[in-house]
Amino acid sequence: MSLAMPIEMGWSMSDREFRELRRIIHACSGIVIGPEKHSMIRARLQKRMQALGFSAMSQYLDLLNGPSGRAERNRFISSLTTNFTSFFREAHHFDLLTETILPSITDDSDGIHIWSAGCSSGQEPYSIAMTILDARPELAAKVKILATDIDATIIDKAKQGIFRPGELSGVGTGCLSRHFTPVAGQTDEHMLRISRRVSRLVTFQQLNLVSEWSLTQHFHVIFCRNVAIYFDQSAQDRLWRKLSLHLRPGGWLLIGHSERVPVIQHDYLQPSGLTAYRKPD
């Protein structure tokens, strides 16, 4: 996600205020903001400061830390999170899903449950659904995909399932014709909507991975890719443990290409391929 730089900023942000913003986003989301991000944070908060009529960062910090600050903290997190994603990203996981994981599932009497944790604008869960519809259509009626993200704004976008041409990289011509339809009434005639056949497999929900989860479901597969890289080590360790507790015996955890579950946790998340881990039976 990128935002245009405003022409002029009429307020300043001290080092102390920057440290407090970093503390708040870490406490709320687990995300670690480095000290080199001072200018980026200030630029991303510019529109929000203008909308609120604030002329000083101290006013915004008072709002975030005040008794009515919960809604604003959600907007704050949304303004700072980077929602980079794409369809069929890290394609080897989708091959693993169809060739190894789905054939190994035997306890599917209540459905095949898949969780896309940190789903951003929806490309990952929709890619999972399209992969199953194309490669294992006989299983589609059993598949239930939960897609979650901390950012309520991006979840609303994901639910719409509408994508610009630039957001469709990685989607082949055949896949476009099978699973997307033009959006009627749009000035941009190239906008496409994911088909109902795909979207009905996916349920979206806001969820903060570092807070308490209300989930009771246990999953056959969890995609949690390129999320933990924004957390410090202790938050990562807690996340891997919590995810393992929401996997069924024999269930799979798929993570990002630069992420690793540490060796000390391999007793409950065993390496099972490239950035893939499996909970012991």
Q: Is 149 a catalytic residue?
A: yes
The DSSP string of 155-220 is HHHHHHTEE-GGG-TT--HHHHHHHEEE-TT-SSTT-EEE-HHHHTTEEEEE--TTS-------EE
Beta bridge partners of 149: 206
Annotated active-site residue in 22, 149, 193, 225: 149
How far apart CA 137 and CA 128 sit, in angstroms, is 12
Q: How far is CA 21 from the centre of its chain?
A: 22
Q: What is d(CA 167, CA 121) in angstroms, rounded to the nearest whole number?
A: 10
- Asked whether the beta carbons of 217 and 246 are under 8 A apart, the reply is yes
Q: What is residue 143's three-state secondary structure?
A: strand
DSSP states along 50-80: HHHT--SHHHHHHHHHSTT-HHHHHHHHHHH
Question: What amino acid is encoded at 267 in this protein?
Answer: D
**Cα–Cα distance for residue pair 38/25, rounded to 1 Å:** 14
Residues 51/6, Cβ–Cβ less than 8 Å = no
Three-state secondary structure call for residue 28: helix
End-to-end CA distance of the chain: 40
Q: Is 15 a catalytic residue?
A: no
Which residue numbers are catalytic? 44, 149
